[in-house]
Structure 1
Amino acid sequence: MSGHVVVIGGGVSGLASAALLARGGADVTLVERHDRVGGRAGRLEVDGFTFDTGPSWYLMPEAFEHFFALLGRRVEDELDLIDLDPRYQVFFERDSAALADVLEVTASSETNRSRFDEMSPGDGQAIADYVDEATDLYRLALDRFLYTTFERPLSVADRSLLPRLGSLLPLLTRSLGSRIAGRVKDPRLRQLLGFHAVFLGSSPDRVPSLFSLMSHLDLRDGVRYPRGGLYAVMEALERVALAEGVTIRTGADVRRIVVEDGRAVGVTLADGETLRADAVVSSADMHHTETELLEEQHRARPEKSWRKVRPGVSALLVMAGVEGELPELKHHSLFFTQDWDANFEAIMERGEVPHPASVYVSRTTATDPSTAPAGHENLVMLVPFPAEPALGATPESREAMEQHAARYLDQVGAWAGVPDLRARTSIKAILTPSDFAESLSAFKGGALGLEHTLLQSAMFRPRNISSKVSHLLYAGASTAPGIGVPICLISAELVAKRLLGETSAHPLNTPLPAGYLARSRRRGALGDLARALGSSAAPRPASPQQAGS
């Protein structure tokens, strides 16, 4: 064996997988079809504005800290993190007046509780109790569910977990929306606890109530912003991958995973070049990998098996510059319609575009003025949309998307008390479901990854290893543990755990020693592969961070 691994895709999970495998001793080449890395977490620079074209919330700081610690680094040395206060603001649609009711969620739990009680007496304490439970569930998820490959499902349940099974089962069978409704009276505050479902590609009535754990993230753990935007995370991942010895090739579009004798032995690029390898890790969309990059006889999930798979919500993403100041909006702003449930049903069940819509708006210039020219504001507007790749695919549909964007700007301006918002705004770019389908090969144009329904979460989510092709592994939002930047970092670690034969539910110990894959305890083909990878690469000098630790 040469000890060579090819990683497909330069998004979060691709870069993270490449860095971890290179540290393990492998000779890693990462191939990315675009001219720069990023994947869903991209960056657009135009007319002096800098936009994140994907994720914009920095949550789950433990996952970032742990990933960089695996490589002997500190997140403080890689990212300039700013704690946001207020965390975000929410605009609630009113019955008649154009202006919305506004709630600021701050860094102070006591202030938040008081404001919740002002809106609905008694709900402040109810939400405090709910968040206590969310924190407990979050810790449980870190300890038992997020860092396991589920290769041995029973390994997640030890004696400490068994007494809790009775209370955990309803969390899987009951919806998040139902759990919230049983705790909180005010429908607006229910929305405050349920909007995280969109981060999971779904709606509150479709995700299991176990995901109530996400309220721990914003209401207790806090919300941060990496200076330069979320793409600063991608730049950090690229830096550490290169420091670990990864070769990154951009403008390299993979057309086929080469399989010989049932084993992945490389990839063929669009220009005809073949890169030979001992293993392939695909962080590309799994549907694309299975139905386009593999020949039919090698597909564990052929096209017909995807008919019942839920792609998750898509989005209309609008990147705009605003002339003048915009103090009415904070760094993160959420706009919630009164017909919340009907809004999601229209999008996810009937494939309809909603008006008005529940909208998320990011104004990074509230924290980081460098993201816009002097005298201007940076505005990104995300509207949940049906996962329908035809939306935006033709000139006529593209024009319709731009008209939708203008109407949503009017809605945001009216609710926030900025009546001239559209007149002051110049739309620099939009991304539609067709863009996600074309540029990212996303299944049905979904913006995030496979929806987190019960049957697409945890042990039921697609595994991170092919059942048909040896030495082919997966990372990213289509596989376990799921959607989100920190979750995709964990998915990269699960690739390493799979090679090591590590079936525990716990994260790997930090830092990982150079050449750690050579210590694999796994038997059979993957064990032989891991040990060959781990002993194949020459030792690299320690990084400045490692040398000083």
Structure 2
Amino acid sequence: MLTRLDPEMSEEAARASAPHAVVIGAGLGGLASAMRLGARGYRVSVMDRLDSPGGRGSSLMRDGYRFDLGPTIVTVPQIFRELWAACGRDFDADVDLRALDPFYEIRWPDGSTFTARQDGDAMRAEVARLSPGDLKGYDAFVRDSEARYWFGFEDLGRRSMHRLVDLIKVLPKFAWLRADRSVYAHAARRVKDERLRMALSFHPLFIGGDPFNVTSMYTLVSHLEKEFGVHYAMGGVDAIARAMGRVVEDQGGMILQGAEVDEILLKEGRARGVRLSSGEIVTADIVVSNADAGHTYDHLLRNHKKRRWTPARLRRARWSMGLFVWYFGTKGTAEMWRDAGHHTILNGPRYKGLVRDIFRTGKLSEDMSLYVHRPSVTDPTVAPEGDDTFYALSPVPHLGHANPVDWQAEAEPYRQKVQKVLEEQLLPGLGDHLTASDVFTPETFRDRYLSPHGTGFSIEPRILQSAWFRPHNVSEEAQGLYLVGAGTHPGAGLPGVISSAEVLDKLVPDAETVRGR
């Protein structure tokens, strides 16, 4: 059944003749696109198969505990402020963003730790404490990451890369910055301590990339953290998604939940609307897909011949890893585990070997590394008073390997292994305090988000799957069809998907031009 977040459409009469844009998916990229299109004078309808907006940035309630299902941190907050400003709104009036200090703590099996903060002197002190001989190399790494930020994010990441000539023009800069070198290889050239190499190279895992193969351009994330900090939105990223939805509706747009798009309809090579799984047809002047790029081309355009993104090409693509996420609440623990902060990264005994198992062999390893989120130390609304809310995320193989993991059989045994690691390394006595609990596996991502192979972040951001090589924001398969979100340019992560809507804004024709067709 179709449900609208708000049945009232502001300025409905004035917008009745405006060109109609259908946005497939109310993920953050889709909502950002709807906001920008609404500000441009389009009449916008967002179609989403879930029961609430936000996509992977939505939340789940269990027995009084609220779990952020996907992203937990906000970097580069100005991209949200710029988005709101483009709509004549004030982001900070709608969302309460809190700076985190420290960002996170990294722990290794030998008991050593590394605490990441925004303050440069504090970071240099951490490096000196862990490996004094690497301080000079660390300083060089920081300079490297800034150079890659200005080129990779502020330049390439905020404009379309759909023309081959755009790629050709930047090849000399790619070569100069050694984009062919992996993030890990670049970190290894600057520092010698293996723990520091991990601390400076693991960030691509936040966007689904193998640090040993993803282009060194992604060292720019270190600069993002240093320059702009790491933030948490009170109410979680779900609060941002809901605020975005309110802006869309205030503009006169509609968000239809429970509306699954089954096909993009073309007429004479141009996108002219969508067919819902219910059979209902919704006509449109333009279509924007926030669905996974693979799903868009392989399923939503299944009845149309593709020139570039054919089924064979998608099968050859390298995809990001899958995710095993255990969401759990604990009773009466607010004053316990004082050394477990908002974010903790627990490393297993292997780094390169574990990453190889996840991305290359498709093997579910006995050992694991965990990203642990404890928002209740910052946000008391996520759990009943005196309690805690957590999620523990373990990168695992996606479902597209030759012998995919049978998560129907493995989910509970693996959850128990996760619990054992947490009890041994971070949360002693956890089992005595457990309350609400839920698990997402790659099968959940496949079924809930229609993610190919159950991946967490769509197509992996390797150098030959980035920029021009990635599915373009303006489709070459149909006129009037645009793509946003993790699977298109510039890529996954909150800055990437919000920036994809900014790129879209530069590609879509003015409403008056479309009206005149």
Q: Which residue of 1 aligns with 2:5?
A: none
Q: Does structure 2 retain, via aligned residues, the 8 Å contact 1:9–1:283?
A: yes
Q: Residue 137 of structure 1 aligns to which amino acid in structure 2?
A: R
Q: Which residue of 2 aligns with 1:200?
A: 207
Work out which of the residue numbers 483, 489, 496 in structure 2 matches 1:480.
Answer: 489
Matches within 5 A, 1:97-108: 100-108=111-119
Q: Does structure 1 retain, via aligned residues, the 8 Å contact 2:63–2:436?
A: no
Work out which of the residue numbers 114, 130, 143 in structure 1 matches 2:154.
Answer: 143
Question: What is the CA distance between 1:388 and its match in structure 2?
Answer: 1.0
- State whether structure 2 residue 25 is matched by structure 1 residue 25: no
Q: Which residue of 1 aligns with 2:64?
A: 48
- State whether structure 2 residue 330 is matched by structure 1 residue 322: yes
Aligned residues: 497
Question: What is the CA distance between 1:364 and its match in structure 2?
Answer: 0.2
Q: Residue 56 of structure 1 aligns to which amino acid in structure 2?
A: T
Question: What is the CA distance between 1:299 and its match in structure 2?
Answer: 3.3
Distance verdict in 2 for CA 1:311–1:468, change over 3 Å = same
Q: Which residue of 2 aligns with 1:122?
A: 133
Q: Which residue of 1 aligns with 2:7?
A: none
Q: Residue 492 of structure 1 aligns to which amino acid in structure 2?
A: A
Q: Which runs of 5+ in 1 are unaligned?
A: 95-99, 501-515, 519-527, 534-549
Q: Which residue of 1 aligns with 2:414?
A: 404
Q: Does structure 1 retain, via aligned residues, the 8 Å contact 2:167–2:468?
A: no
Between the aligned partners of 2:171 and 2:483, the Cα distance in structure 1 is 31
Q: Does structure 2 retain, via aligned residues, the 8 Å contact 1:298–1:469?
A: no
Between the aligned partners of 2:210 and 2:270, the Cα distance in structure 1 is 39
Q: Does structure 1 retain, via aligned residues, the 8 Å contact 2:23–2:289?
A: yes
- State whether structure 2 residue 317 is matched by structure 1 residue 306: no
Q: Deviations over 1:158-207 (max 9, x none)?
A: 8xx89856522x2x211111110111111111111111010221121110
Q: Deviations over 1:139-166 (max 9, x none)?
A: 22333201111244555898xx898565
Larger mean CA deviation between 302-311 and 372-381 belongs to 302-311
Question: What is the CA distance between 1:226 and its match in structure 2?
Answer: 0.8
Between the aligned partners of 1:220 and 1:411, the Cα distance in structure 2 is 33
Q: Does structure 2 retain, via aligned residues, the 8 Å contact 1:326–1:377?
A: no
Specify the SS of the correspondent of 2:53.
coil
Work out which of the residue numbers 385, 394, 402 in structure 2 matches 1:374.
Answer: 385
Work out which of the residue numbers 449, 460, 473 in structure 1 matches 2:469.
Answer: 460
Q: Does structure 1 retain, via aligned residues, the 8 Å contact 2:206–2:493?
A: yes
Q: Does structure 1 retain, via aligned residues, the 8 Å contact 2:163–2:468?
A: no
Question: What is the CA distance between 1:214 and its match in structure 2?
Answer: 0.9
Q: Does structure 2 retain, via aligned residues, the 8 Å contact 1:321–1:377?
A: yes
TM-score (norm 2): 0.91
Matches within 5 A, 1:496-507: 496-500=505-509
Q: Residue 317 of structure 1 aligns to which amino acid in structure 2?
A: V
- State whether structure 2 residue 19 is matched by structure 1 residue 12: no
Work out which of the residue numbers 68, 71, 74 in structure 2 matches 1:58.
Answer: 74
Work out which of the residue numbers 277, 280, 293 in structure 2 matches 1:273.
Answer: 280
- State whether structure 2 residue 252 is matched by structure 1 residue 245: yes
TM-score (norm 1): 0.86
Q: Deviations over 1:63-83 (max 9, x none)?
A: 222222221223211211111
Q: Which residue of 1 aligns with 2:352?
A: 341
Between the aligned partners of 2:227 and 2:295, the Cα distance in structure 1 is 38
Q: Does structure 2 retain, via aligned residues, the 8 Å contact 1:263–1:470?
A: yes
Distance verdict in 2 for CA 1:459–1:155, change over 3 Å = closer
Q: CA RMSD in A?
A: 2.4
Q: Deviations over 1:1-48 (max 9, x none)?
A: 961111110001111111111211111111111111111112001111
Between the aligned partners of 1:335 and 1:71, the Cα distance in structure 2 is 41
Between the aligned partners of 1:81 and 1:337, the Cα distance in structure 2 is 32
Matches within 5 A, 1:227-246: 227-246=234-253
Between the aligned partners of 1:26 and 1:309, the Cα distance in structure 2 is 34
Q: Residue 488 of structure 2 aligns to which amino acid in structure 1?
A: T
Distance verdict in 2 for CA 1:129–1:220, change over 3 Å = farther
Q: Does structure 1 retain, via aligned residues, the 8 Å contact 2:19–2:511?
A: no
Work out which of the residue numbers 253, 257, 263 in structure 2 matches 1:256.
Answer: 263
Work out which of the residue numbers 165, 184, 187 in structure 1 matches 2:191.
Answer: 184
Q: Which residue of 2 aligns with 1:362?
A: 373
Specify the SS of the correspondent of 2:421.
helix
Between the aligned partners of 2:151 and 2:360, the Cα distance in structure 1 is 32
Question: What is the CA distance between 1:378 and its match in structure 2?
Answer: 0.7
- State whether structure 2 residue 92 is matched by structure 1 residue 84: no
Q: Does structure 1 retain, via aligned residues, the 8 Å contact 2:214–2:463?
A: yes
Q: Does structure 2 retain, via aligned residues, the 8 Å contact 1:390–1:434?
A: no
Question: What is the CA distance between 1:532 and its match in structure 2?
Answer: 4.2
Identity %: 31
Larger mean CA deviation between 268-277 and 131-140 belongs to 131-140
Q: Deviations over 1:447-500 (max 9, x none)?
A: 112110011111211112222322111111111111012211111122221124
Specify the SS of the correspondent of 2:485.
coil
- State whether structure 2 residue 449 is matched by structure 1 residue 440: yes
Question: What is the CA distance between 1:398 and its match in structure 2?
Answer: 2.9
Question: What is the CA distance between 1:136 and its match in structure 2?
Answer: 2.6
